[in-house]
Amino acid sequence: MENIKEYLKAERNQEWRAELRKSMKAKERTGRERNDMLERDPNVRNKNIDEVNLGLTEELALADARRCIDCANPTCITGCPVGINIPKFIKKIETGDYLGAAVVLKETNALPAVCGRVCPQEKQCENNCFYTISLKKPAVAIGNLERFAADYERNSGQMAIPEVAAPNGIKVGVIGSGPAGLSAAGDLCKLGYDVTVFEALHEIGGVLKYGIPEFRLPNEIVDVEIEVMRKMGIKFKTNFLVGRTATIDELKEQGYEAFFVGSGAGLPRFMNIPGENYNGILSSNEYLTRVNLMNAANPDFDTPVLKGKNVAVIGGGNTAMDSVRTAKRLGAERSVIVYRRSLVEMPARVEEVKHAQEEGIEFMNLHNPVEYFADENGRVNKMRIQKMELGEPDASGRRRPIVIPNSEFDIEVDTVVVSVGVSPNPLIPASLPNLKMTDWGTIVVDQDTMQSSIPELFAGGDIVRGGATVILAMGDGRKAAAGMHKYIQEKINK
């Protein structure tokens, strides 16, 4: 940790940064208003899949970059799971060196254009910004600026390929190509390893592709970042299910020295209430996969998707917001969130809730489904809901929802998307009987190195956390890459 502090200090003391700080008084910087991204008109965007946020213009980006006072103690970095040198990239923007800003981002972040879009910055870097902590003012728009620099670089056609150490000829396997896996793969490649990423689906990107909708994260953006990783020398194998297509032992025989497991969240959770297996009731994973990965809403593609008129989405997380906003875009007349707590406890990002509200999504908070009914064809047509109220805080610190007796009533629905969480993917653990697991089906790892009970196996992301964000998964991937490097080097030098 001390090394990093020293490094950041030395970086900050570079002449260009010192000059830049002097060029404007801190008072002048802090007196400016925060600059947010432009957004598409809610009543237009809720009928198409175009990206909602339009990003910052160069002018707005410069204006917000000037707000950053380049603190001596940059607390924002402590809020970033992948440790981006935030003041440095922002100051690069201030000097107009946007491509240089992108290079800084890529030093520690394999997917800046993705993170600039989907990270909950308001809970991380921006929550630890000097403005938030000390001035009680809106934070520097760090997330918006990250996106600006990454987009600028992509649009410039001059994508920088991160520097890679001389190949050391050591083979490592990364299982799963979601944010955790890509992040681990990027770091391992930079260290000189011969990295192969194994993906069970036919596309690279994991949840970035099958889960997060086009209107929040266009697939093209993910593909461009993956292309950079290919150019770095990372190999990708799709349609390959480790544990099944080949076992870990077989891969070891092929020369793989260590593995990172980022196989993600698997089984969708259901509520186990009567009627939940009627047609028209599906998990958010299924709904979003059909639309995002399989392109089901496009008539030229073969995968079907139910386009409901009355759609209820159960849950209050980002995935629930993604589902309910997708339903609206597929033409739902009524698209409703049914959530058992209140708006305050909702785990979804504030921005997603705001966007959903603008787009005409209804919120039935403090409501919970108890039973479904179907027509003669087995298609759901009615949902019984009970009202809830909030009691004392539970283990999660949020106030516990309590049923209000005799408060049931029915609403008409033809499609229900259940988005109440996922359990870890069981396939990898099932193929490794010696792997130590928690009672919840997640892999047990060392907090610092992400090493599992099988020494050559490291893990991170949802398979360890049970369910988290893109950026926490990426942080795990980086940590694991460092852990794997240490493990392999110690093994070699023994």
Q: Which is nearer to another protein, 31 or 274 (CB)?
A: 274
Q: Around 455, how many Cα atoms within 13 Å sit in the side-chain half-sphere? A: 6
Cα separations in angstroms, 98 against 59, 145, 422: 12, 10, 39
Q: Tokens 């009672």 identify what position? A: 439
Q: What is the dihedral of CA 313, 314, 317, 320, to 10 degrees?
A: -20
Pick one of 164, 267, 370, 390: the residue that binds another protein (CB under 8 A): 267
User: Interface with another protein by CB under 8 A: which range of 161-169, 185-193, 276-284, 465-473?
Assistant: 276-284
For 177, left (φ over 0), alpha (ψ -120 to 50), or beta? alpha
Q: Which is nearer to another protein, 168 or 238 (CB)?
A: 238
Q: Which is nearer to another protein, 295 or 357 (CB)?
A: 295
Q: Which is nearer to another protein, 332 or 484 (CB)?
A: 332
Pick one of 303, 331, 350, 412: the residue that binds another protein (CB under 8 A): 303
Decide if residue 282 touches another protein (CB under 8 A). yes
Contact in structure between 74 and 87 (CB atoms under 8 Å)? yes
Decide if residue 190 touches another protein (CB under 8 A). no
Contacts of 38 (CB under 8 A, 6+ apart): 53, 54, 55, 56, 57
Contact in structure between 437 and 444 (CB atoms under 8 Å)? yes
* Least spacing, CB of residue 200 vs another protein, in Å: 5
Pick one of 85, 177, 285, 326: the residue that binds another protein (CB under 8 A): 285
Cα separations in angstroms, 277 against 313, 340, 418, 444: 15, 21, 11, 33
| 92 to 131: interface string for another protein, x by CB under 8 A | ----------------------------------------
Decide if residue 254 touches another protein (CB under 8 A). no
First to last CA, the chain: 26
| 435 to 474: interface string for another protein, x by CB under 8 A | ----------------------------------------
Residue 358 identity: E
Structure tokens at 385: 């809901």
Pick one of 79, 120, 268, 401: the residue that binds another protein (CB under 8 A): 268
Q: Which is nearer to another protein, 81 or 206 (CB)?
A: 206
Decide if residue 306 touches another protein (CB under 8 A). yes
Total interface residues for another protein by CB under 8 A: 44
Across the beta sheet with 362-365, what order do the strands follow?
281-283, 415-418, 310-314, 334-339, 362-365
* Least spacing, CB of residue 414 vs another protein, in Å: 12
Q: What is the dihedral of CA 300, 228, 3, 476, to 10 degrees?
A: 30
Q: Which is nearer to another protein, 210 or 458 (CB)?
A: 210
Pick from 461, 470, 474: nearest CA to 82: 474
Per CB under 8 A, which of residues 312..331 are in contact with another protein?
none
| 398 to 427: interface string for another protein, x by CB under 8 A | ---------------------------xxx
* Least spacing, CB of residue 322 vs another protein, in Å: 15
Decide if residue 274 touches another protein (CB under 8 A). no
Residue 446 identity: D
Decide if residue 256 touches another protein (CB under 8 A). no
Decide if residue 370 touches another protein (CB under 8 A). no
d(CA 156, CA 162): 16
Structure tokens at 69: 């006072």
Per CB under 8 A, which of residues 203..232 are in contact with another protein?
210
Give the interface with another protein as residue ranges (CB under 8 A). 200-202, 210, 238-241, 244-247, 265-268, 270, 272, 276-280, 282-283, 285-286, 289-290, 294-295, 300-304, 306, 377-379, 425-427, 430
